[in-house]
Amino acid sequence: MPAFVLALRRVLRPLVRLMLARGITYPYLCDLLKALFVEIADKDFRIDSKPPTDSRVSLVSGIHRKEVNRLRQEMASDVEIVPSVVSLGAQLVAVWLGSPQYLDENGGPRPLARFASEGGDLSFEALVAGVNSDIRSRVVLDEWLRLGMVRFDEQRRVCLNVQAFIPAEGFDEKAFYFAHNLHDHAAAAAHNLMGGAPPFLERSVHYDALGAGSIAALSKQSEQVAMKVLLELNKSAIALEKADAADTAPRQRMTFGVYFYTEPATPAKDG
pLDDT at 133 over 90: no
Contact 136, 127 (CB under 8 A): no
58: closest CA among 46, 48, 69? 69
Beta bridge partners of 47: 50
Beta bridge partners of 152: 158
pLDDT at 203 over 70: yes
pLDDT in tens, 98-122: 788 898 888 788 999 999 999 999 9
The pLDDT of residue 231 is 86
Q: Model pTM greater than 0.85?
A: no
Q: Could you tell me the pLDDT band of residue 234, with boundaries at 50, 70 and 90?
A: confident
The pLDDT of residue 268 is 54
- Judged by average pLDDT, the poorest of 16-25, 52-61, 66-75, 170-179 is 170-179
Please name the residue ranges forming H helices in 132-264: 137-147, 171-193, 212-243
Q: Could you tell me the pLDDT band of residue 22, with boundaries at 50, 70 and 90?
A: confident
The mean per-residue pLDDT over the stretch 156-182 comes to 80
- Contacts within 8 Å (CB) and 24+ apart, 237-245: none
Q: Could you tell me the pLDDT band of residue 85, with boundaries at 50, 70 and 90?
A: low
User: How far is Cα 244 from Cα 251, in angstroms, rounded to an integer?
Assistant: 9
CA distances (Å), origin 175, targets 22, 24, 100, 171, 228: 12, 14, 34, 6, 25
CA distances (Å), origin 152, targets 89, 91, 223, 228: 18, 21, 43, 50
3-state helix, strand, coil in the chain (%, to 5): 60, 5, 35
User: How far is Cα 271 from Cα 181, in angstroms, rounded to an integer?
Assistant: 21
